[in-house]
Structure 1
Amino acid sequence: MALHIPKAPGVPQMLKEGARMYSGLEEAVFRNITACKQFAQSVRSAYGPNGMNKMIINHIEKQFITSDAGTIIRELDVEHPAAKLMVLASQMQDAEVGDGTNFVIVLSGALLESAEELLRLGVTTSEIAEGYEKALDKCLEILPELVCYEIKDCKSVEAVIKGIKPSIMSKQYGNEDFIAELVAKACVGILPEKTTFNVDNVRVCKILGAGLFQSEVLSGMVFKREVEGDITGASKAKVAIYSCPVDITQTETKGTVLIKTANELLNFSKGEESLLEKQIKEIADTGVKVVVAGAKFGDMALHFLNKYGLMAVRLNSKFDLRRLAKTVNGTVLPRLTTPTAQELGYCDTVKVDEVGDTRVVVFSMDSKESRISTIVIRGSTDNYMDDIERAIDDGVNAFKGMARDGRFVPGAGATEIYLAQKLLQYADTLPGLEQYAVRKFAIALEGIPRALAENTGSNATEVINNIYKAQKDDKNAGYDIESENNGVCNALEKGVLDLYILKYWGMKYAVGAATTILKVDQIIMAKRAGGPKPKAKGQDSDDES
């Protein structure tokens, strides 16, 4: 007879065998803080223009070499529940502003590190969380005082370059002038009058070879493809776009046909041929010069397209089809029908070009009406071009933020030190235990210029003291990475600016993540779902890798 052993009392009694539970300061809170601290430290060394690159190999063994925190956290499959909260906060920052992901992680990591010291001194988590929230409110109240520059006209390329250069500088230090000019031209060229700016309207096409300085901006779209037929160019072209294959239509049901003579065989295929020719002739009669399809072109269809002088372009991606429809102002048709005048798109020139030794199809608009622009990036390796693309992405997002709110605050750690100084004065006015948390918040803010200084190889404590001294006369004083004057410079004169909304949302999300993690006092993990584990691919695996 099997003995029945009762489970241990408490929570394990309620849950399945194999469930785990951690509770209390030591097991839950400090554990979470340690995981978050380590995560923040690994991302922190990638912060700023002199940040180090990380080599990341994701779950499908694709390799990334980047210092962009957004990419690092996206490709690392973070499983720790508390560190995941930081990742989510950073992803929200990416969705809201498109930049400053690293700022969120570094700040929330610094806040948790400061909280750990307070917890060991006996301050409760709720008092720390309350103090942090008070400090955040105070920071958001002071932040408008720091606005030092504003872009009123987003159509001015010079003003836009000044605004987007700092965000590009933090990824591609040394190439920021050239890349900022590319991004500014691409964005200003397609800025709509009334509606908000859409980041997806700036496309990137990466072509191996040459160097970064051979990159260029085109109004319209560039595809790394060949044309399908013999026609390789068209100007002032009407464009028909289909999401279906351009081929003989397949019958719904399978049937068997008995053919006895050669004539019957000829007549059988002639019916299908003449139907396809009729469809393509009708398309050509509407004045169409270019046919774009999201699926294959049949051999027979290509023969008739060449016969009627139509250019055939195939795009594999449905997103590219949609974007092209937007560029040429046409409609994607689901069936091979004759398009109406409203469904046709228009493009000034469609041509096959050769960039390096790569053949590309270029849809370009000469008029100002283009809704999409493409930045063609040249570079020596794929990893390098991917990193340039991430810098461009940050620049485009900075432009989007600028179009929404053109205010800027000084960068280079000037904003953080100014806020820290004000918070230390504010802490003296508070009666309760929250004042300790507000002081620690000020120290956490120093973590941003500290990270910049450490990544550049300077003495961080000395740099921060110098900035505090310099800020008595000039609130725009920040850290100068090309340090000559005690490592201090005027961030506004140097052109190191941060978007107001970047700091605003960044602090909100960082504090939100930190206080949520602090308020966790128990971690209860249910037993994982069973089932067989996926078979690891061995040497003798039949599956192709």
Structure 2
Amino acid sequence: MAFRVPKAPGFSQMLKDGARHFQGLEEAVYRNIKACNELTQTTKSAFGPHGMNKMVINHIEKLFVTNDAATILKELEVQHPAAKMIVIASQMCEQEVGDGTNLVLILAGSMLHLAEELLRMGLSVTEVIEGFEQACEKAIEILPDLVCSSVKDLRDVDGVTKALRTGIASKQYGNEDFLARLIAKACVSILPPDRIAFNVDNVRVSKLLGSGITSSSIINGMLFIRECESDLNSVKNANIAVYSCPFDMLNTETKGTVLIKNAKELLDFSAGEENLMESQIKGIVATGVNVIVSGGKVSDLALHFANKYKVMVVRLNSKWDLRRLCKTVNATALPRLTPPTPEETGHCTAVRQDEVGDKRIVVFEHATEEGSKVCTLALRASTENIMDDLERAVDDGVNNFKVLTRDLHQVPGAGACEIELAKRIAKFGESCPGLEQYAIKKYAQALEVVPRALAENAGLNPTEVVSKLYASHQGEDGTSNGVDIETGDVIDVAEAGILDLYLVKHWALRLATNAAVTVLRVDQIIMAKPAGGPKAPKQSGDWDKDADE
């Protein structure tokens, strides 16, 4: 006797009640492609220098106004499993080369859109996948031939500025020349002898509200938005002692009780404490230290003696700031208030307190670039949102420099590289036997999405721009012809200095193809019934009050 009568024959009877099951082209593949297309349409309008901003309000009601695809995707918290795959691919591109997130998204979306056309024509999913993989391998093979320039010397600020300019223009169009030079100076100043050892974390960003973007500056050292504790607020040729403990009397390991019988005993007790504190600070000053940095509270008594012996005192609450400062001034953070040895003492040219806008700042600065292992970019802008966007542009610029330490080659930008790849891959497709040639040609067509998106966002006619580019690429010397987004004309982008990094293109093509192929391989979607349990309380009003109160 059966325990349970199945409701419907087939796969569904094996699943729990409430589970959902989709299969086949109509229910699974086309549904996934549609979700991915909708996501890529959102970020496509944010692509390029004329990309539109998106206003995203996240789950804790924080506002983001940006055209940075990585930030948009992070704050959107995409839930659809297929769309999540291409989001993960774009995140991998950011981890690998620090840029190219939007490029991966729009390429993958374009491939899936054209794959749907092939599937509706009658091709099988396997044939489309094989064609796409062959086309990707061919594109990776062709890409080194399109290299038109390379950075000669990573310590040449002008050369690095030209290399970073295009990546920054897509985030901060109009300010790219100023920002590229600022970032290039910062990166070159802290570039270690072994260029592979370059660490992006050594370029710090400090945001100071007010003034304009062109008031941003670079500091060879560290900048902290706080004021110093002592009366002395400027020291030249600073010898710095860094303590991770509070600047106060050391607590004893055992508790003690002191019985005081009269006023004299009370005065003697406090005098003993004062003498001990004074002797500690005397010992520190005797080593030549004139700046003390504390990782904890600063007591009034310790501050009194610091002022008496003309010592500058700065308090840093963050242990990360303390660690970076030690790296900047080459000091060792001491756990107890003891006089530092010469090896533990940090040095820098000047420590000063300044005022920028309405904020007090403390600057630890090196006079020469050679002395500093960390540098700080002090960014200025009129609103918090612009400063956040500036910080993202700086982050992209520093990551692009990191990519240059691995590979110095550059390919033409402004759609020139993609059109040349599309032309050569389409030609390769014609020479391939079998039904895969249709998928190879569609892959070539998918690459057109880059100049199309650039033209569309700049208010140009995308079809006209793409046809002009194809016409100019027919000659042997037309490989570096791209679109001028201001006029819509075809220009030699290698001469105009609009260049993309070779590694960014390489990884974007690989990751976009892998993401598109992974989505196409899915032929069934099986969704289990969501777990039950009590619903979380709404975060409005007072949680402690009952509903009837």
TM-score, normalisation: structure 1:
0.93
Question: Which moves more between the two structures, 251-260 or 409-418?
Answer: 251-260
Matches within 5 A, 1:240-389: 240-251=241-252, 259-269=260-270, 272-367=273-368, 368-389=370-391
Deviation at 1:295, TM superposition (A): 2.6
- Matched position secondary structure for 2:500: strand
Q: Following TM superposition, by how much is the alpha carbon of 1:313 offset from its aligned partner in structure 2, in angstroms?
A: 1.3
Corresponding residue for residue 76 of structure 1: 76
Whole-angstrom CA distance in 1 between matches of 2:309 and 2:56: 51
Counterpart of 1:421 (choices 410, 420, 423) is 423
The DSSP-based 3-state class of the residue aligned with 1:359 is strand
Are 2:226 and 1:225 equivalent residues in the alignment?
Answer: yes
Q: Aligned pair 1:20/2:20, yes or no?
A: yes
- 2:216 matched residue in structure 1: 215
1:191 aligns with 2:195: no
Equivalent positions of 1:159-170 (< 5 A) are: 159-170=159-170
**What's the secondary structure of 1:288's corresponding residue?**
coil
Aligned to 1:478: 482
How much has 1:169 moved relative to structure 2?
A: 0.9
- 1:229-240 mapped onto 2 (5 Å cutoff): 229-240=230-241
Quote how far apart the aligned CAs of 1:266 are: 4.3
What code does the residue aligned with 1:481 have?
I
Measure, in 2, the Cα distance between the counterparts of 1:530 and 1:275: 64
Counterparts in 2 of 1:335 and 1:49: CA distance versus 1, 3 Å: same
Deviation, structure 1 residue 278: 3.6
- State the partner residue of 1:205: 206
Instruction: Give percent identity, aligned residues only.
Output: 57
2:461 is aligned to: 459
Distance apart, 1:268 and its partner CA:
4.9
Match of 1:538 in 2: 540
Distance in 2, Cα, partners of 1:13 & 1:345:
72
The worse-fitting range, judged by mean Cα deviation, of 306-315 and 363-372 is 306-315
Comparing 115-124 with 403-412, which one deviates more in the overlay?
A: 115-124
> Structure 1 CA distance, aligned partners of 2:5 and 2:533?
26
1:449 aligned onto 2:454: no
- Other-structure match for 2:129: 129
2:432 to 430, 433, 444: 430
Cα 1:460–1:324 shift into 2, 3 Å: same
Q: CA deviation at 1:83?
A: 1.3
What secondary structure, in the 3-state scheme, does the structure 2 residue paired with 1:234 have?
Answer: strand
What whole-Å deviation, never above 9, does each CA across 1:468-506 have from its counterpart, x for those lacking one? Answer: 00012211111110125xx21111111110000010011
1:318–1:29 CA distance, 2 compared to 1 (3 A): farther
User: What is the CA deviation profile of residues 255-314 of structure 1, one whole-angstrom value per residue up to 9, with x for unaligned ones?
Assistant: 666554444544555555444444333322222221222332222332232233221112
| Residue ranges of structure 2 left out of the alignment (5+ in a row) | none
CA RMSD of aligned residues (A): 2.2
Kindly tell me the number of residue pairs found equivalent between the two proteins: 539
Q: Which amino acid aligns with 1:284?
A: V
**Distance (whole Å) between structure 2 residues aligned to residue 444 and residue 393 of structure 1:** 29
Counterpart of 1:508? 510
* TM-aligned CA deviation for residue 464 of structure 1: 0.4
Counterpart-to-counterpart distance in 1, 2:273 and 2:192 = 46
Instruction: State the Cα deviation string for residues 324-346 of structure 1 (Å, max 9, x = none).
Output: 11111112233434333222211
With the length of structure 2 as denominator, give the TM-score of the two structures.
Answer: 0.93
SS at match of 2:538: coil
- 1:109 CA drift (Å): 0.8
- Contact 2:195/2:405 (<8 A) preserved: no
- Secondary structure, counterpart of 2:463 in structure 1: helix
Bigger CA drift: 180-189 or 98-107? 180-189
1:149-170: per-residue Cα shift (whole Å, max 9, x none)?
1112011111111111111111
How far did 1:143 drift? 0.4
Summarize the Cα distance change of 1:279–1:4 in structure 2 as closer, same or farther, 3 Å threshold: farther
Task: Write the deviation string for residues 100-149 of structure 1: whole angstroms up to 9, x where unpaired.
Answer: 11101110111111111112222222222221111111001000110101
Partner residue, 2:62: 62
Do the aligned partners of residues 293 and 7 (structure 1) sit closer, same or farther apart at CA in structure 2, a change above 3 Å counting? farther
